C-alpha cells in the first residue's frame, strides 16, 4: 500500500507525468477524431470532358451532378483544360465522354468512358472513381432496361433478366462505413500504450538522474507500484471506451465483460513493460527519445493499417512482443464486434504471457535497482 501511494504521489506532483497520463488522452480524444467527424467523404470535385455533346451525354452529366459522392465543378470539351484543373488541385477526378458515345450506344455496342482520379489522396480518389463508376452503371442499366422493355411483355421478366440475383449490403460493425470508426478505436489503444510507457519512463528517469529511488527492494513494493500504474491505464481505458466512443458515436459495447477483462490484462501488461523499460533509463528525456519514433512501426505491425498476411515472415513473431498488437485486435473484436472471450483467447493469452514475462524480468531489475539505491544512501 505504501508503494501504491508513493507512485500516485509521484504522478500527481510531476506536471509532465500528469500531462502524459491524463491530459494527453483528453486532448487527443477531442482533436484527433475532428478531421474524420464526417466519417465518409462526399462532394469530391470532378470535371467532365464531354466530347459527344448529345442528350445521352448530358443525361450522364446530370446523373453525376446528382450523386452525393461527387460535385461537377466544370464541364468542358478539352482534355487539357481538365488536366490543368487536376494539376492545380481544383478537382480530384475526371470523366471523359468520347465523341462517339451516343452513336456507339444506340448502335447496340459498348462505348468506352474514361474515368480517372488523383492518386495523391487515396480517399478522394476512391470516392471519385467509385461514384463515377456508379453513375455510368446507372445510365447503362437504364439503356438496357429500355431494350428489354421492347422485347419483353412483362416488367417482372425484364427485372429477372436484368438482375436474376439481388444483393443487399449491410455493414455490421461499421454502420457508417467511415474512416474514423475504423481507425480511431485501434489507434486509441496504441496511444494509451505509448503515453503510459513515456510517462513511466519519465518518472524512473527522473529518479535515476537524481540518484534516488523511493521504493524498497521487496516484491510487495514492486507490485504496489505496478497496481498504481495499472490503475492509471484502466482509468484512461474507461474514459476512452466509455465516454469518448459514446460521444463520437463509434461502435461500442459489443461485449462489456470481455472488454473489461482485456482492459485489466492490458493495463498490467503495459504497466509491467513500462516499469521494466523505465528501470534502464538514466535520464528523464530518454523515454521520449526512444519511444516517440516507434509509434508508426508498431501501428503497422499490429495489423490495423496494414494486412497481417502482407508482413514479412521475419517480423511475424516480433510483432507479438508489443502489447498493442494483441490489444488492438482484441478490443476491436470484443468492444466493436461483440466477440466472446473464447474468440479472442489468443490475444488474451498473448497479453498474459507478456505480462508474466515483463513482471519476471522487471522484478529482478527492480530488486537490483533498489539495492543500489540503498547502497548509495548507506
Read off the pLDDT of residues 210-261 as tens digits, 9 standing for 90 and up.
877 788 777 788 899 999 999 999 999 999 988 888 888 888 777 889 999 9
In this structure, what are the phi and psi dihedrals at residue 322, rounded to the nearest 5 degrees?
-100, 130
Distance CA 296, CA 359 (A): 26
Q: What are phi and psi of 339, to 5 degrees?
A: -70, 150
Domains of the chain, start order? 2-36+176-376 (no CATH), 44-162 (3.40.1710.10)
At residue 160, the pLDDT reads: 52
Q: Where are the alpha helices (DSSP H) in 239-255?
A: 245-247
In 3D space, the residue among 270, 273, 278, 247 whose CA is nearest the CA of residue 331 turns out to be 270
pTM, 2 dp: 0.75
Q: What integer pLDDT is reported at residue 375 of this predicted model?
A: 47
Task: State the burial class of residue 174 (Cβ atoms within 10 Å of its Cβ: 0-12, 13-18, 19+).
Answer: middle
Here the cell at position 56 is 445521352
Q: Identify the CA nearest to 283 among candidates 209, 199, 366.
A: 209
Note the pLDDT of residue 213: 77
What is the sign, positive or negative, of the torsion defined by CA atoms of 319, 320, 325, 330? positive
CA 241, CA 328: separation in Å to the nearest integer?
Answer: 13
Residue 150 pLDDT: 54
CA distance 337 to 157: 40
| CB hemisphere CA count around 302 (13 angstroms) | 28
97, β-bridge pairs: 50
Bridge partner list, 95? 48, 115
The pairing of strands 114-117 and 93-97 is antiparallel
Nearest to 299 by CA among 196, 201, 186: 186
pLDDT for residue 376? 47
Nearest to 208 by CA among 267, 275, 273, 271: 275
Predicted confidence at residue 174, as pLDDT, reads 75
Enumerate the β-bridge partners of residue 302: none
Residues of the chain with pLDDT under 70: 37-39, 108, 140-170, 177, 369-378
Q: Count of CB atoms within 10 A of residue 153's CB?
A: 8
pLDDT of residue 283: 81
Question: Which residues make Cβ contacts (< 8 Å) with residue 298, sequence separation at least 6?
Answer: 190, 193, 194, 322, 324, 325
Determine the Cα–Cα distance for residues 207 and 141; give it in Å rounded to an integer.
72
Determine whether 34 is exposed, middle or buried from the number of CB atoms within 10 Å of its CB (0-12, 13-18, 19+).
exposed
* CB contact at 8 A, 278 and 360: no
Angle between helix 122-151 and 55-66 (nearest 10): 130
Q: What's the CA gap between 23 and 80, in Å, rounded?
A: 51
Half-sphere exposure of residue 141, counting CA atoms within 13 Å on the CB side? 12
Q: Which of 132, 102, 362 is nearest to 225 (CA)?
A: 362
Amino acid at each position: 500500500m505504501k508503494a501504491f501511494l508513493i507512485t500516485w504521489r509521484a504522478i500527481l506532483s510531476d506536471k509532465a507525468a500528469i500531462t502524459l497520463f491524463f491530459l494527453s488522452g483528453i486532448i487527443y480524444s477531442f482533436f484527433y477524431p475532428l478531421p474524420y467527424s464526417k466519417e465518409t467523404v462526399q462532394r469530391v470535385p470532378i470535371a467532365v470532358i464531354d466530347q459527344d455533346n448529345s442528350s445521352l451525354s448530358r443525361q450522364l452529366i446530370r446523373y453525376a451532378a446528382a450523386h452525393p459522392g461527387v460535385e461537377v465543378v466544370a464541364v468542358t470539351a478539352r482534355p487539357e483544360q481538365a488536366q490543368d484543373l487536376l494539376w492545380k488541385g481544383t478537382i480530384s477526378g475526371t470523366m471523359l465522354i468520347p465523341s462517339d458515345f451516343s452513336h456507339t450506344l444506340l448502335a447496340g455496342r459498348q462505348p468506352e468512358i474514361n474515368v480517372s482520379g488523383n492518386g495523391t489522396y487515396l480517399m478522394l480518389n476512391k470516392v471519385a472513381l467509385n461514384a463515377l463508376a456508379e453513375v455510368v452503371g446507372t445510365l447503362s442499366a437504364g439503356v438496357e432496361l429500355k431494350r428489354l422493355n421492347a422485347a419483353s411483355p412483362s416488367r417482372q421478366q425484364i427485372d429477372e433478366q436484368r438482375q436474376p440475383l439481388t444483393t443487399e449490403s449491410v455493414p455490421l460493425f461499421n454502420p457508417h462505413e467511415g474512416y474514423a470508426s475504423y481507425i480511431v478505436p485501434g489507434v486509441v489503444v496504441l496511444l494509451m500504450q505509448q503515453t503510459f510507457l513515456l510517462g513511466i519512463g519519465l518518472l524512473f528517469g527522473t529518479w535515476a538522474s537524481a540518484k534516488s529511488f523511493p521504493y524498497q527492494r521487496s516484491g510487495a513494493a514492486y507490485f504496489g507500484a505496478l497496481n498504481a500504474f495499472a490503475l492509471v491505464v484502466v482509468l484512461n481505458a474507461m474514459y476512452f471506451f466509455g465516454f469518448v466512443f459514446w460521444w463520437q458515436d463509434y461502435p461500442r459495447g459489443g461485449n462489456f465483460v470481455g472488454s473489461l477483462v482485456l482492459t485489466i490484462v492490458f493495463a498490467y501488461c503495459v504497466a509491467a513493460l513500462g516499469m521494466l523499460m523505465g528501470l534502464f533509463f538514466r535520464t528523464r528525456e530518454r523515454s521520449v527519445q526512444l519511444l516517440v519514433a516507434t509509434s508508426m512501426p508498431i501501428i503497422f505491425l499490429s495489423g490495423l493499417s496494414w494486412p497481417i498476411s502482407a508482413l514479412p515472415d521475419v517480423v511475424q513473431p516480433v510483432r507479438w512482443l508489443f502489447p498493442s498488437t494483441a490489444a488492438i485486435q482484441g478490443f476491436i473484436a470484443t468492444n466493436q464486434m461483440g466477440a466472446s472471450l473464447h474468440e479472442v483467447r489468443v490475444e488474451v493469452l498473448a497479453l498474459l504471457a507478456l505480462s508474466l514475462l515483463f513482471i519476471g524480468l522487471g522484478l529482478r531489475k527492480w530488486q537490483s535497482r533498489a539495492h543500489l539505491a540503498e547502497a548509495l544512501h548507506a
